[in-house]
């Protein structure tokens, strides 16, 4: 196995099995602050689970997720077809090592839609999503692997907001969309990932970047405001009530269009997400 393949495979396993320190600390704070016993019990279970998963390098959740890749490239670096092939192979090896849930659907376009072709039993057969590439100032090639589960994908929303020249209007609409999404998610406490851009593609790309870069311990006023307002709904962990439906909000606001419309991508990430890890290649 080449050095890059090995690094990518290891990165994927870490993404699927490890809580970052800021994520653990967010749970510790929420557990200490939560008054509802059953909600507290849920969050302790989630944190205990993370410690066991990290120790065993085993999946945090049986829905191990679809690999999504975010590649940062410094201006003196180059991305070759060979590098992309090695990343692809690293993903395949990582999925086998984790192991990922065998979720690749077999067959032609129709069979993949209605799932009539069955599942591929090889965990490594699961294709990653298209790679998102971003130029950066640092002289690096850095890959972030994100493992995106199905529950948040079902409840995610990408849609326009008529902003009426008011940030409050945009925040209110985000909160109105987030409250039912968090309630329906099931696997909470969640983290809200938000991207605001000029098109559906751009907003979703920004949301991906927010998931790749967000930090539970570093929250902007915009992010804090949304977290507080959504937590007012009192959904709580696993819907059992309490102050901690949302642990944090990760938002990325991009360039905006000269118009009355903002495109907002919103994903209620589950209690393990954003499952991510990064590696310099």
Partner 1 sequence: MNKIIELTTPFSEEVISQLKVGNVVSITGDIYCGRDAVLPRICKELEAGTWTQRGIDLQGGVIFHTAVSPAGVGPTSSNKLEIEGSFEVLSSKGAIKMHLGKGAIKPETVKMLAGNNAVFAIIPPVTALLESQTLERECVAWPELGMEALYRIKVKNYQAIIAAAKGESIYE
Query: What are the residues binding partner 1 (CB under 8 A)?
Result: 17, 37-38, 40-42, 45-46, 48-50, 52-53, 56, 58-64, 98-102, 118-119, 121, 123, 151, 186-187, 238-240, 270-272
- DSSP string for 25-59: HHHHHHHHH---HHHHHHHHHHHHHHHHHHHHT--
Closest to partner 1 by CB, 15 vs 141, is: 15
Minimum Å gap between C-beta 52 and partner 1 is: 4
Minimum Å gap between C-beta 37 and partner 1 is: 5
- DSSP string for 92-119: HHHHHHTTPP--PBPSSHHHHHHTTT-B
Closest to partner 1 by CB, 144 vs 183, is: 183
Task: Give the distance, in angstroms, between the CA of residue 223 and the centroid of all CA atoms in the same chain.
Answer: 16
Cα distances from 170 to residues 18, 125, 162, 266, in angstroms, run 33, 40, 8, 12
Closest to partner 1 by CB, 41 vs 222, is: 41
Minimum Å gap between C-beta 61 and partner 1 is: 5
String of b and e for 260-271 (b: at least 16 CB within 10 Å)?
A: eebbbbbbbbbb
Contact of 146 with 207, CB cutoff 8 Å: no
Closest to partner 1 by CB, 118 vs 260, is: 118
Minimum Å gap between C-beta 55 and partner 1 is: 9
Minimum Å gap between C-beta 231 and partner 1 is: 18
Please state, in angstroms and rounded to a whole number, the distance separating the CA atoms of residues 162 and 83: 42
String of b and e for 145-177 (b: at least 16 CB within 10 Å)?
A: bbbbbebbeebbebeebebeeeeeebeebbbeb
Closest to partner 1 by CB, 29 vs 101, is: 101
Q: Tokens 């209620």 appear where?
A: 268
Minimum Å gap between C-beta 103 and partner 1 is: 9
Closest to partner 1 by CB, 46 vs 148, is: 46
């Amino acid at each position: 196995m080449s050095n890059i393949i090995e690094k990518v495979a290891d990165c994927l396993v870490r993404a699927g099995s490890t809580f970052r320190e800021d994520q653990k600390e967010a749970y510790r704070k929420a557990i200490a602050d939560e008054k509802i016993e059953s909600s507290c019990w849920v969050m302790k279970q989630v944190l205990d689970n993370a410690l066991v998963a990290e120790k065993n390098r085993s999946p945090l959740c049986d829905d191990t997720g679809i690999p999504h890749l975010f590649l940062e490239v410094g201006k003196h670096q180059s991305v070759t077809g060979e590098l992309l092939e090695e990343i692809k192979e690293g993903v395949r090896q990582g999925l086998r090592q984790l192991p990922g849930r065998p979720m690749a659907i077999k067959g032609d376009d129709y069979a993949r839609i209605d799932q009539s072709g069955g599942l591929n039993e090889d965990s490594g057969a699961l294709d990653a999503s298209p790679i998102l590439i971003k130029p950066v100032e640092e002289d690096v090639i850095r890959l972030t692997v994100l493992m995106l589960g199905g529950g948040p994908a079902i409840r995610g929303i990408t849609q326009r907001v008529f902003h009426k020249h008011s940030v409050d209007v945009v925040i209110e609409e985000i909160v109105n969309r987030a409250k039912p999404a968090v309630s329906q998610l099931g696997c909470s406490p969640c983290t809200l990932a938000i991207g605001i851009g000029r098109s559906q593609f751009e907003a979703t790309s920004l949301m991906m970047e927010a998931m790749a870069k967000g930090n539970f311990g570093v929250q902007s006023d915009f992010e804090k405001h949304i977290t507080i307002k959504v937590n007012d709904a009192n959904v709580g962990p696993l819907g059992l009530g309490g102050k901690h439906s949302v642990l944090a909000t990760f938002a990325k606001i991009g360039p905006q269009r000269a118009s009355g419309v903002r495109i907002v991508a919103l994903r209620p990430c589950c209690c393990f997400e954003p499952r991510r890890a990064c590696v310099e290649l």
